[in-house]
């Protein structure tokens, strides 16, 4: 428990660690690793009597809880509800003879991530290496959509009612994040605009959407939209959920970005004007890059929460990961296996959210956020 107070988050701890490093470095050759460890323990866990007490009590509580959970997970829990339904949880009712397409889509995504990481980490080796990620980011989402949905000519169409499980969760989240970002930036710029109509419309959009719960937005897109649209124009159900998520997320992205826009000093804009840049150039070359850089942490937070919010589409009957979990729990063979199923679903959500969080931190470090 007390460990959490110590330097656990690298970003926050860096200045402090940097100060202490010379001391630690000189101590190492004399005292050895054991002495180092003892010193660390003494400094972080047992520095005072109450810290020592907290450490002991905390350790006892953690051990007690861990052993109980461990014992349950290994003995009482029956994980067949997860293992037997793993494919179902991952892709839902996606046709089993077309699963290779999902696998290929995962490969494409992994390749995209690898390419991006390589380009980010490696040195600048030529124009191709610099252009490749941008090109890949344009093509990969289309490729994934094409693989998963099909086109009716080369690949059979897999209707969205056959999408489910983690696949649907990820599709909803990815589309929500990628599409809501430009809309959010546009809304933020619109809200800062000097044109009164643009400003009023943007403000109204943001405030209306932010003023209602996501559940309401999803219900409107699922049920009310069909009442207002002309007959025959009946957008796909998953598409409607995506639209709801995009609208909702865009409003929050807009407010985050607005915060960034306001953090750009007026002097920057004046300097741009002095250099002869026009309005659009000032916005896209001077203001936005600085504004977006400043709001990366809050944007990552917003996207993580959007990822978790996709679980709300279960209440409009879409079977994403949690919806599939509920459906599996209705299988008479697995009645009552709630704990195992929700533990699994929670773990999956955590894995992805933690991954996003780590990726976000990498982006922050690359942008030198907080340092320059």
Partner 1 sequence: MRRPSLWIVLALGAALVLAACSTGSQEPAPSGGEYGAGSGDGGGDGGGAGTGDTPGQAPGGSQGQGTGMGQTPGQTPGQAQSTLQAVLRRGRLICGVNGALPGFSFLEEDGTMSGFDADFCRAIAAALFDDPEAVEWRSLTAEERFAALQTGEIDVLIRNTTWTISRDTSVGAEFAPTTFYDGQGMMVRVDSGVRNLEDLAGATICVTGGTTTELNLADTFRALGVDFTPRTLEQVDAVYTAYEQGQCDAVTSDKSQLASRRAVMANPDDHVILEATMSKEPLGPAVRNGDSAWFDVVKWVVYATIQAEEFGITSGNLDQVLADNADPDTGNPDIRRFLGLEGNFGEGMGLSNDFTQRIIRHVGNYGEIYDRNLGPGTPLNIPRGLNNLWTRGGLLYAMPFR
Note the residues at the interface with partner 1 (CB under 8 A): 84-85, 87-88, 91-96, 159, 161-162, 164, 219, 222-223, 226-232, 234, 237, 315-319, 323-324, 326-333, 335-336
d(CA 369, CA 18): 18
Q: Residue 20 or residue 236: which is nearer to partner 1 going by CB?
A: 236
d(CA 301, CA 184): 15
Q: Residue 10 or residue 95: which is nearer to partner 1 going by CB?
A: 95
d(CA 321, CA 89): 6
Rg (CA), the chain: 25
In angstroms, what is the minimal distance from the CB of 45 to partner 1? 40
Q: Residue 218 or residue 299: which is nearer to partner 1 going by CB?
A: 218
d(CA 48, CA 161): 61
Helix extents (H) in the chain: 10-44, 49-71, 80-83, 86-91, 99-121, 126-149, 165-192, 196-210, 214-219, 225-228, 237-263, 266-274, 279-281, 288-294, 296-309, 321-329, 338-367
Q: Residue 47 or residue 83: which is nearer to partner 1 going by CB?
A: 83
In angstroms, what is the minimal distance from the CB of 208 to partner 1? 19
Q: Residue 67 or residue 83: which is nearer to partner 1 going by CB?
A: 83
Query: What angle do helix axes 237-263 and 196-210 make, rounded to 10 degrees?
Result: 120
Q: Residue 87 or residue 268: which is nearer to partner 1 going by CB?
A: 87
Q: Residue 165 or residue 260: which is nearer to partner 1 going by CB?
A: 165
In angstroms, what is the minimal distance from the CB of 14 to partner 1? 47
In angstroms, what is the minimal distance from the CB of 311 to partner 1? 14
In angstroms, what is the minimal distance from the CB of 174 to partner 1? 22
d(CA 187, CA 282): 17
**Region for 165 from its dihedrals, namely left if φ exceeds 0, alpha if ψ lies in -120 to 50, beta otherwise:** left
CB proximity list for 226: less than 8 A, separation 6 or greater: 234
In angstroms, what is the minimal distance from the CB of 369 to partner 1? 42
DSSP helix, strand, coil percent of the chain (3-state; round to 5): 80, 0, 20
In angstroms, what is the minimal distance from the CB of 310 to partner 1? 16
């Amino acid at each position: 428990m007390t460990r959490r107070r110590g330097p656990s988050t690298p970003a926050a701890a860096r200045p402090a660690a940097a100060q202490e490093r010379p001391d630690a470095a000189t101590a190492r050759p004399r005292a050895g690793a054991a002495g180092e460890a003892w010193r660390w323990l003494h400094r972080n866990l047992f520095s005072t009597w109450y810290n020592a007490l907290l450490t002991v009590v905390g350790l006892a509580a953690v051990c007690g809880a861990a052993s109980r959970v461990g014992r349950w997970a290994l003995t009482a829990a029956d994980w067949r509800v997860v293992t037997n339904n793993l494919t179902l949880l991952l892709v839902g009712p996606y046709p089993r003879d077309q699963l290779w397409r999902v696998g290929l889509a995962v490969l494409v995504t992994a390749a995209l991530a690898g390419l991006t990481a390589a380009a980010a980490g490696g040195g600048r080796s030529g124009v191709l290496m610099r252009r490749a990620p941008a090109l890949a980011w344009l093509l990969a989402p289309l490729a994934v959509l094409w693989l998963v949905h099909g086109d009716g000519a080369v690949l059979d169409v897999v209707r969205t009612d056959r999408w489910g499980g983690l696949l649907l969760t990820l599709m909803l989240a990815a589309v929500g994040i990628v599409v809501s970002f430009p809309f959010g930036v546009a809304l933020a710029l619109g809200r800062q605009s000097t044109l009164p109509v643009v400003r009023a419309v943007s403000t109204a959009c943001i405030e209306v959407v932010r003023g209602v719960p996501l559940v309401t937005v999803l219900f409107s897109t699922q049920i009310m939209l069909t009442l207002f649209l002309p007959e025959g124009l009946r957008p796909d159900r998953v598409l409607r959920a995506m639209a709801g998520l995009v609208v909702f997320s865009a409003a929050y992205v807009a407010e985050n970005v607005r915060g960034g826009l306001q953090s750009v000093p007026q002097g920057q804009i004046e300097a741009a004007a002095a250099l002869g840049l026009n309005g659009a150039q000032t916005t896209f070359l001077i203001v936005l890059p600085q504004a977006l850089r400043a709001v990366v942490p809050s944007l990552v937070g917003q996207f993580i929460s959007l990822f978790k919010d996709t679980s709300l589409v279960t209440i409009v009957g879409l079977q994403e990961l949690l919806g599939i979990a509920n459906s599996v729990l209705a299988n008479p063979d697995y009645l009552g296996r709630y704990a195992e199923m929700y533990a699994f679903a929670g773990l999956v959500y955590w894995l992805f959210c933690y991954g996003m969080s780590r990726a976000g931190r990498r982006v922050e470090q690359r942008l030198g956020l907080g340092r320059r």
